[in-house]
């Protein structure tokens, strides 16, 4: 009897150990599956860029003074909202965005029209909608609407992107918000729509003959677009081509930004020791937004500036890698479009600071001050993370029929 009890006790202990081991394996599997949803190759450079941005938005505000001192606290709020939305987009299956775009696109067009009609006038532009103490920039929603709608359209097998009517539809979806944003006027944001649509069309295997025709057509529109530009926009182009044309007015910002980048040397003048910001040579109104890269380059030198560019390169690589890992065309086109938006902003912002391109009001992603822009960019990367997280999951929607 005693021997039987001992055998029973030993067997019970074995079963208990097996149950504990099974529970531990289940918990371990759940944890591993959760963290497998996150692409560290994206998260690490993103976190570093956000950290750099917060440090320099704070330091620039302290050096410039005035209401810029308060911008750091606002940026903290925008960052919190953006990170929250970033998490939400990761948890949501990105494939539902396509259905959402069918309502989102026309709603954004309506909002862009309302901005032109009733938006507050600031610096002779209508770009914002005031909701209490918060100002929203609907043009950022315009980029998002074009991204969602074109990626969704091109992802269907029944849509042959090399048929002329489908090309025309894609161009129409791009031209409508382009014209509305251009009328605000916000030429910089409108320009971003062009490489965004072009990147998705290229990824969708648009034939080279159509690509060449579109390039020729766009080139033919350049003189017409120039003639319809505002006078200050024309002056920016003329000053870019001839910096000595107006060195103390129109050309001042570009010249001082280039000097600030150059005087940083190899390792810079030290954090918060940049003279161009402190003495006001860089434009104070945009030193923490459009011209934050010269501040970084002056204070951290070539090492810091190159590190920022390298982080953007890693971020871009991670998004394009996610595009290749995507289980469907919709996720691939979303990532390609997001990469195009990121690359265009980085190239134009840094390019205008070193006089490679004319000055255009495009901020530096994740680094410049800007509420709607920061939140929108974090939403884009949340979508890219969602594509990565669902790369091995069966689709809950049949997109290709």
Dump pLDDT digits (tens) for 60-108: 888 777 777 788 889 999 999 999 999 999 988 898 998 888 899 999 9
**Residue 189 and residue 139 in contact, taking contact as beta carbons nearer than 8 Å:** yes
Task: Confirm whether 44 is domain-assigned.
Answer: yes
Give the span between the Cα atoms of 177 and 166, in whole angstroms: 18
Identify the residue with better confidence: 226 or 24: 226
Task: Confirm whether 5 is domain-assigned.
Answer: no
Task: Confirm whether 303 is domain-assigned.
Answer: no
Lowest mean pLDDT among 105-114, 198-207, 243-252: 243-252
Give the span between the Cα atoms of 203 and 63, in whole angstroms: 45
pLDDT of 249 strictly over 90 = no
Q: Which of 215, 212, 216, 246 is nearest to 232 (CA)?
A: 246
**CA 370 to mean position of chain CA atoms:** 12
Confidence of residue 257 (pLDDT cuts 50, 70, 90): confident
The DSSP code for 274 is: -
Average pLDDT over every residue of 129-146: 86
Task: Confirm whether 251 is domain-assigned.
Answer: no
pLDDT at 217 (0 to 100) = 80
pLDDT of 297 strictly over 60 = yes
Three-class SS state of 129:
strand
Give the span between the Cα atoms of 246 and 240, in whole angstroms: 10
pLDDT of 127 strictly over 70 = yes
Task: Confirm whether 341 is domain-assigned.
Answer: yes
**Total domain count for the chain?**
1
Give the span between the Cα atoms of 37 and 33, in whole angstroms: 7
Query: How long is the chain?
Result: 401
Give the span between the Cα atoms of 157 and 177, in whole angstroms: 26
Query: What is the pTM assigned to this prediction?
Result: 0.89
| Greatest pairwise CA separation for the chain in angstroms | 107
**CA 165 to mean position of chain CA atoms:** 30
Which residues on adjacent β-strands are paired with residue 130?
135
Give the span between the Cα atoms of 401 and 165, in whole angstroms: 19
For the chain, what percent of residues have pLDDT higher than 90? 45
- 170-192 pLDDT per residue, tens: 999 999 999 999 888 888 899 99
Q: Which of 148, 124, 119, 121 is nearest to 136 (CA)?
A: 119
Question: CB neighbours (10 Å) of residue 106?
Answer: 13
Task: Confirm whether 14 is domain-assigned.
Answer: no
pLDDT at 280 (0 to 100) = 73
Identify the residue with better confidence: 201 or 26: 201
Confidence of residue 401 (pLDDT cuts 50, 70, 90): very low
pLDDT at 30 (0 to 100) = 58
Average pLDDT over every residue of 112-141: 84
Lowest mean pLDDT among 90-99, 108-117, 229-238, 341-350: 229-238
356: number of CA atoms within 13 Å, CB side?
Answer: 8
pLDDT of 399 strictly over 80 = no
Give the chain's end-to-end CA distance (angstroms, integer). Answer: 70
Three-class SS state of 130:
strand
Confidence of residue 4 (pLDDT cuts 50, 70, 90): low
Task: Confirm whether 295 is domain-assigned.
Answer: no
pLDDT at 87 (0 to 100) = 93
Confidence of residue 128 (pLDDT cuts 50, 70, 90): confident
Burial 342-355 (b: 16+ CB within 10 A, else e): bbbbbebbbbbbbb
Q: Which two tokens stand for residue 31?
A: 């944890």
Which residues on adjacent β-strands are paired with residue 125?
122
Lowest mean pLDDT among 105-109, 151-155, 318-322, 392-396: 392-396
Q: Which domain holds residue 330?
A: 40-237+309-351+371-389
pLDDT at 122 (0 to 100) = 80
Lowest mean pLDDT among 2-16, 36-50, 324-338: 2-16
pLDDT at 348 (0 to 100) = 94
Peptide bond connecting 185 to the previous residue in cis, omega within 30 degrees of 0: yes
pLDDT at 9 (0 to 100) = 60
Give the span between the Cα atoms of 141 and 9, in whole angstroms: 66
pLDDT at 343 (0 to 100) = 96
Identify the residue with better confidence: 388 or 235: 388
pLDDT at 63 (0 to 100) = 79
Task: Confirm whether 395 is domain-assigned.
Answer: no
pLDDT, the chain, mean = 85
């Amino acid at each position: 009897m005693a021997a039987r009890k001992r055998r029973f006790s030993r067997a019970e202990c074995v079963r208990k150990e097996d149950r504990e081991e099974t529970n531990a394996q289940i918990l371990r599997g759940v944890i591993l599956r959760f963290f497998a949803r996150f692409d560290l190759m994206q998260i690490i450079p993103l976190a570093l860029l956000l950290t750099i941005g917060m440090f320099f938005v704070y330091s620039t505000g302290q050096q410039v003074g005035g209401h810029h001192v308060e911008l750091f606290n606002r940026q903290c709020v925008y960052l919190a909202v953006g990170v929250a939305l970033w998490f939400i987009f990761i948890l949501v299956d990105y494939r539902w965005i396509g259905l959402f775009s069918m309502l989102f696109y026309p709603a954004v067009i309506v909002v862009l029209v309302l901005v032109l009609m009733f938006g507050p006038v600031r610096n002779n532009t209508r770009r914002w909608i005031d909701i209490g103490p918060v100002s929203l920039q609907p043009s950022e929603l315009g980029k998002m609407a074009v991204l969602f709608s074109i990626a969704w359209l091109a992802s269907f097998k029944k849509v042959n992107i090399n048929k002329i009517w489908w090309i025309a539809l894609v161009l129409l979806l791009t031209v409508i918000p382009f014209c509305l944003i251009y009328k605000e006027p916000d030429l910089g944001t409108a320009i971003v729509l062009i490489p965004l649509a072009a990147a998705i069309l290229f990824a969708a295997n648009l034939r080279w003959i159509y690509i060449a025709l579109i390039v020729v057509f766009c080139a033919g529109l350049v003189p017409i677009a120039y003639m319809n530009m505002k006078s200050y926009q024309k002056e920016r182009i003329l000053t870019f081509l001839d910096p000595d044309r107006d060195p103390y007015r129109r050309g001042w910002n570009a010249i001082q930004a280039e000097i600030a980048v150059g005087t940083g040397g190899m390792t810079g003048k030290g954090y918060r020791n940049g003279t161009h910001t402190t003495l006001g040579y860089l434009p104070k109104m945009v030193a923490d937004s459009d011209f934050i890269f010269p501040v970084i380059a002056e204070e951290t030198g070539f090492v810091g500036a190159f590190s920022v560019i390298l982080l953007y390169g890693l971020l871009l690589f991670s998004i394009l890698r996610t595009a290749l890992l995507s289980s469907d065309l919709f996720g691939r086109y979303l990532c390609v479009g997001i990469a195009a938006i990121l690359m265009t902003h980085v190239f134009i912002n840094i390019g205008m600071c070193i006089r490679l391109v004319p000055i255009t009001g495009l901020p530096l992603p994740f680094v410049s001050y800007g509420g709607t822009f920061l939140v929108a960019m974090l939403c884009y990367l949340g979508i890219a993370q969602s594509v990565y997280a669902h790369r091995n999951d069966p689709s809950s929607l049949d997109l290709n029929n």
